[in-house]
Amino acid sequence: MQKFILSRKNHITVVSGILIAMAFISKLGFNNEVIFTWALLIASILGITPIVIQAYQALKVKVVSIDVLVTVAVIGALFIRNFEESAIVTFLFLFGAYLELRTLNKTRSAIKELTEMAPESALKQMENGEFEEVEVDEVDVGDILLVKTGAKVPVDGTVLAGEGHINEASITGESRPVTKKKDSGVYAGTILENGTIQIVADRVGEDTTFGKIIELVEEAQDSKSEAERFIDKFSKYYTPAVLVLSIIVFIISRDIELAITILVLGCPGALVIGVPVSNVAGIGNGARHGVLLKGSEVIHDFSRVDTVVFDKTGTLTIGNPKVADKEIYGDNIDTILGYLASVENESDHPLAKAVVEYIGDTKAYKVDKTDVVKGGGIVAQVDGHRVAVGNVALMEQENVQLDEKAREDIDKFEKSGNSLVLTSVDGELKVLMGIRDQIRPGVKDDLQKLKKLGVKNLVVLSGDNQGTVDLVAQELGLTEAYGHMLPEDKSAYIRELQAKGQIVAFVGDGVNDSPSLALAQIGIAMGSGTDVAIETSDIVLMNSDFSRLPHALGLTKATANNMLQNIIIAVGVVLVLLASVFFSTWMNMSIGMLVHEASILIVILNGMRLLRYKLRK
């Protein structure tokens, strides 16, 4: 019976509203007191029924809830035959609850959108080689699946055949399609906008990146911050205190209507709901923009961060060496580059790969008598010429003359933080290339945004040599820079900062820097949604998009401010209402309940503003 009544709360609200309207029409339009009285009485009894059930359920677990206060107040109003007040209070309370639920559902829309994006079926290759549609739960690791244009990728996997463009907004927050071909990784929940691909399942079900994202966001919205825990504890004692206050007022004044009014006005609804709604809306905004915030405690801590420590490689830089500078000496450059590419194709060294990638498609030459010089480079016979590719020491060993211009270029390239690759043909220097890990595009602007958001110290820690780290720090305007740092050195440095009272966030790749990610107050992973990044850190910037970092900090600051605003609104409204009972003549139960419900909607709508939050340019 209780379940039936509670499931019909909205219907009861509508009927109560109709009865109240009927009552006032009969009195004001037809001066009929009988219909007026009976309509309000029925509306009161009908409206109080679900509230009484909720109050009883709360008392069963030893909680004096808002429903208890309203129940006592309405029963008191009925006892003194104030049917007008009792009917209006129950209707406003039920209608307010309906509006709260409706608006709260909107704050959870980002999470709901995520769950709706989850794939439900897949085209699985059967034993006869044909593809059949099955439930996604029936897919196992190693199964081969077919994904057609417009379909959702059902699991995390690797492309076996075909090519297409995939919208990865559900994973990265970036709606621009990403090209996928053989050996490319794909994520569950993303959408193949065009093309057809076959994939092999690597991770299925809850183990997929998308499954982990949904799980993390749901856990985050259910977590409680320090402020929420305080409010829960506060309301646990506050609500009974209001009940005691109303009893004391009745004993002193012998005015039961005044005591009942205090019960209604003292309801802490806006205070209880104000902080959670801000928390859920903030986490929902982050989920939409490729930022995973693991709970409201993370929001609280990150909003107060004053020091951000970065790993260099793969965080501030792309993590992939590229040819940054080049000087040519002599003619026949296309032929020389062909020789160089042919020799470097013989090597697996990262610098060799960078050179081959830079040169691109060119004529390939047969390479003979390859001699790898340890710590120097490669010497080989190419098209009848002796070609040496390596560092300055190798050039000197090969008796290559380096004139003043070449010496100046070498010095300039080294000061720019480059690793050098020199190429000589038959003892003459032909090409000088400078290779370095490129700084991520837009990082400098993003770091300036962090400073404007109140971050005082920007520090880079790297295992690279100090000269290279200093150049990166100088170019990006960082506060401090330390090279030759092992993982344990980074952890020790973070402890030093924390001992000085600084609130530290560490930004790394989620794998090599896991000790620092765990040690810092806030660990932020540039993880592309990898398992380690998701598990280790407090915040994940999906797709390793550094530009999400200022948005994440701005969002947490806005969310923390929003929580504070809601607390001030809630407490302020209760104080004003209680003061108006004693110092005004116009305050009554109906007006109090109307203002009370309005304050709840105000804090909800204020929290919902976070769903539209964007970092100001």
Catalytic residue numbers read 311
Q: Please count the other Cβ atoms lying within 10 Å of the Cβ belonging to residue 258.
A: 17
Going through 138-276 in order, the beta strands assigned E by DSSP cover 144-147, 156-167, 178-180, 185-186, 191-203
Going through 126-243 in order, the beta strands assigned E by DSSP cover 131-135, 144-147, 156-167, 178-180, 185-186, 191-203
- Collect all residues with Cβ–Cβ distance below 8 Å to 142 and sequence separation of at least 6: 200, 201
> Which of 147, 141, 161 has the alpha carbon at shortest distance from 119?
147
> Which of 312, 321, 212 has the alpha carbon at shortest distance from 546?
312
* Contact between 292 and 542 (Cβ < 8 Å): yes
**423 Ramachandran zone, left/alpha/beta (phi>0; psi -120 to 50):** beta
Sign of CA dihedral 70, 222, 114, 561: positive
**Helix 66-79 vs helix 256-265: angle between axes, to the nearest 10 degrees?**
150
SS3 372: strand
* Contact between 524 and 538 (Cβ < 8 Å): yes
Residue 477's Cβ-side half-sphere holds a number of Cα atoms within 13 Å equal to: 11
Measure the CA–CA gap between 11 and 17, rounded to whole angstroms: 10
**Helix 256-265 vs helix 226-253: angle between axes, to the nearest 10 degrees?**
170
502-506 long-range contacts (CB < 8 A, ≥24 apart) are: 502/306, 502/307, 502/457, 503/301, 503/304, 503/305, 503/306, 503/307, 504/305, 504/307, 504/308, 504/309, 505/302, 505/305, 505/307, 505/308, 505/309, 506/308, 506/309, 506/310, 506/311
* Contact between 507 and 308 (Cβ < 8 Å): yes
Burial 509-538 (b: 16+ CB within 10 A, else e): bbebbbbbbebbbbbbbbbbbbeebbebbb
Measure the CA–CA gap between 541 and 456, rounded to whole angstroms: 21
Measure the CA–CA gap between 207 and 139, rounded to whole angstroms: 12
Measure the CA–CA gap between 547 and 558, rounded to whole angstroms: 17
